[in-house]
Chains A and B, each alone.
Chain A
Amino acid sequence: MAFINIRNKQIDLKIVYYGPGQGGKTTNLLYIHKNFSEKIKSRMVSIDTYGDRTIFFDFFPFDLGQINGFDIKIQLYTVPGQTEYDATRRLVLNGVDGIVFVADMSASMRRKNILSLKNLYENLEAYNKNIFKIPLVFQFNKVDLAQKGYPILPKELLANDLDRQLKRPWIIASALTGKNVALTLKKIISMTTANIKANLN
C-alpha cells in the first residue's frame, strides 16, 4: 500500500522491476537515470553488483514534484533475477505498490520467464498480496535482438505464456536502445496512482 502522509502532503509509491536474471531490469533503470536524471533530479544507487549482475538490488528514487498540492515521490527498485537470490527478491517486494515484469524475449528464455512469474506469484503470496489485484505491466524486453539476427520469442507466445490469465498491458521494449522504457514507467505509475484510489475506496 502506498505511503500517504496527509500532514506533509506527500505520497510515496514503490515500484519494483521483476523478472528473470539478466533480463534487463537494471538496464531499464540505467536508461531512465542516464536520460532523465536532470529532469527528475535524482541519482541511482546500486547496492552490491558483481560484474553485470545485481546481487542485492538497485534503488532509484525520484520526485515528480507538486501535483494537486501533493508531493509525489516514486521509488524504483530492481531485484536480482538469479534463482538463488529468492530471499532478497521477497525482501524487496515488501510494501510494493506496482510491478514491472521484465520478460526476456530471447528464444532460450521462455521457461525462465514463466518460472520467474510463478516466483513473483509465490513471493507476493508471502505478503498476502494477490498478483491479480496488484498493478502490473509486462515489458517484453530485448526486441532489438531480432535485428541482430538472434532468434526471439513471438510476442503472442509470450503474451499467452505470461499474460493469458492476468490480462495486463504488455509493452514491447528494448532497454538497451531505450525503446518504450519511458512508456513502461509511465504506464505503471499511472496504474499505481489509479490503484490508490481503488484501495482507499
Chain B
Amino acid sequence: MIDLDFNNLTLGVEKRLDEIFADDLQVHSPQSAKLKFVKPPSLASLRKIIMSLEWEVTDNHLNDLLKESNRLQRAYIKDDQLQKLFRLLFHLGRYIRVYKSDTHSYVFNSLFRTYNGVVKITSGKYSNHQKANIVNDEIKRYLSLKAYLKTKNKNISRRTLNKLNTSDKSRLSPIDSFGKEKLYQSKDASKIHYRTVNNNFMELKKFIYLEIKKLRQDLQRIVALIDTKAQYR
C-alpha cells in the first residue's frame, strides 16, 4: 500500500510553485482566478427562480434559471451529486426555453422534482448513500422522460425549430453534439475506430508526399548549385 500523505503533498507542491512563480503571480494579479475560488453560494436565488417559474413561465425566468444553474455547477464543482442535479436543471430549463408552449407538462414536473432533490441533498438529513440514490432516481426519470419526449416531439420539432431565433439555433448546433458523441462512442471506446485509422493513413501519406516534395526541391537546388560552380570553373 502506498503510504503517501497526499494532502500534505498537494499543499507542498502549491507552496513550492508559489515560491518559484512568486514574482510573476504578483505582477499579473489574476481577476479570473479570483472568480474561480469563490465560496459556494447559497441556493436562495435558485429557490426564487423556481418559485417564479411555478407562478409564471417567462423567458426572463428561464434565462435566470440557465444562468443560475450554470453558476451553481461551477460553484459546487467538488460536489458530484449536486453538480449532476444542476446539470439536469440546466437541460430541463433549456428544453422549456426552446419548446416554449409546446413543452410537455411532464418536463415541468421533472424540473420541480429535480429542485426538490437539490433541497433534499443540501438539507443535511440524508446519508451519502441516500443522496446517491436520490440523484440516481432523478437521472433515471430524466432519461425515461427524454425517451418518451423523443417519440412525442417528432411531430412538433420541425414547427418549433422554425420558430427559434438565431441565438437559440446556435445553442442547438455543433457544440451540443459534443456530449451526445460521448454517449454514442463510449460503448466501444476500447476500439480505435476505422475512421481514425483511415485518417492516420491519409495523414501519413500526405506527410510522405510533402517530405518527398521537399527532398526534390533540395536536390534541384543542389544540382543548380553544382551547375553554377561548374560554370565558374
Contacts and interface: CB of A to CB of B under 8 A. Distances in A.
Same complex for A and B? Answer: yes
Interface of A: 4, 6, 35-36, 39-40, 64-65, 67-68, 70, 72, 84-87, 114, 117-118, 121-122, 125-126, 128, 130, 132, 155, 161, 164-165, 167, 169-172, 178-183, 185-187, 189-190, 193-194, 196-197, 200
Contacts of A85: 203
Nearest to B190: A128
Interface string B1-22: 0101111111011101110110
Interface residues of B, number: 47
Contact of B200 (A86, A171, A180, A196): A86
B24 A172 contact: no
Contact of B25 (A121, A122, A132, A183): A183
Contacts of A182: 21, 24-25, 28
B150 interface: no
Interface stretch (B43-51, B102-110, B134-142, B173-181): B173-181
Interface in B158-198: 174-175, 178-179, 181-182, 185, 189-190, 192, 196
Nearest to A163: B74
Interface of B: 2, 4-10, 12-14, 16-18, 20-21, 24-25, 27-28, 30-33, 36, 70, 73-74, 77, 83, 174-175, 178-179, 181-182, 185, 189-190, 192, 196, 199-200, 203-204, 206-207
Chain B at the A interface: SS class: helix
Can you list the 8 inter-chain pairs with the closest CB atoms, starting with the nearest?
Answer: A197-B6, A67-B12, A182-B21, A182-B24, A186-B17, A179-B28, A169-B36, A193-B13
